[in-house]
Structure 1
């Protein structure tokens, strides 16, 4: 059962308009920002250390904070998860997907950018990932989320000239 965030009256599933106060509540996708670091026909991936989808290959990225732009979230997430500074390149795509959280299936709006590492040594945050490797763009494995599968199979990624700066 859901309750109105304004007056606390009982409501139905979203979208819903509260019969008591008229407040309209919607189930909007949560935006994310993700980087795709490409080098020599490979992309940098990490194995997820936590649910959802622990043990699956993942790209560095995550949810936007408050009013944070997805591009800024992508840069922040790369710093938090890999310990590096990245420069965003070409926008690679935006896809609607799902994310399982606290027993709910939530809509997400996943935004992807090609990126280049400009500073720092890669140091994987163990809370985020258990393994880090370069995987082939020509035959990527199943990723943690379907939006990642879709962007990695797209023409922008396969034709990318982005290179890792050492």
Structure 2
């Protein structure tokens, strides 16, 4: 399952090759660009003792039933930091406080029969005193897991970001 454009999105002519390609009729250059996302690694406890993160159990495909970090696609022209805050409000029902940027990771997301490239941006975050109210359309439940013993996540980029967040927090705790 890959991104498969058979026709030019501008003029509708058949394309000679899969993207990246150029339409032989109108000259439109077609690329497969990664779609940006913003995700949160929500931590608990005081800064020096944040050893657990919040995970949501996915309610929908792809990878329904697996654990994930809160997050989603950025809207057009939306900065990933703003998307992370929006996703926190939508998925957790609270306004999260954003911390450091963890990193960007290239991954894939199955949507409408295509495997889309994504550029997943992860931020550390924590919750205010508000109570979590997950969106039942997106998540079945939530749980707190140790960063050092995270379960297998729904997407490999989440696994990588959690490992990097754990390393970052371990180094900052040790004073490096």
Q: Which moved more, 1:31-40 or 1:21-30?
A: 31-40
Q: 1:157 to 1:94 in 2, by over 3 A?
A: farther
Give the aligned length: 161
Runs of 4+ aligned residues of structure 1 deviating over 6 Å after TM superposition are: none
- The residue number in structure 1 matching 2:47 is none
1:55 maps to 2:60: no
Q: Which one of the candidate residues 143, 147, 150 is aligned to 2:160?
A: 150
Tell me, yes or no, if the aligned pair for 1:31 and 1:64 is still in contact at 8 Å: yes
Q: Equivalences for 1:68-107 in 2 at 5 Å?
A: 68-107=78-117
- Comparing both structures, which one devotes a greater share of its residues to helix? 2
Q: The residue matched to 2:121 in structure 1 has which SS? A: strand
- Structure 1 position 120, deviation (Å): 3.3
Q: Aligned pair 1:118/2:128, yes or no?
A: yes
Structure 1 length normalisation: TM-score? 0.92
Maintained 8 Å contact 1:93/1:151: yes
Assess, with a 3 A threshold, how the Cα gap between structure 1 residues 14 and 73 changes in structure 2: closer, same or farther. Answer: same
* Structure 1, unaligned runs of 5 or more: 162-166
More strand by share: 1
Structure 2 equivalent of residue 4 of structure 1: 8
The answer to whether the aligner puts 1:34 opposite 2:34 as a matched pair is: no
1:19 aligns with 2:24: yes
Give the one of 140, 147, 152 matched to 1:137: 147
Per-residue CA shift, 1:72-117, capped at 9, x if unaligned?
1111011000101012110011100000111111100000000122
Counterpart CA distance in 1 for 2:88 and 2:162 is 18
Is there any run of 5+ residues in structure 2 with no aligned partner, and where?
45-49
**Residue 16 of structure 1, CA deviation:** 1.2
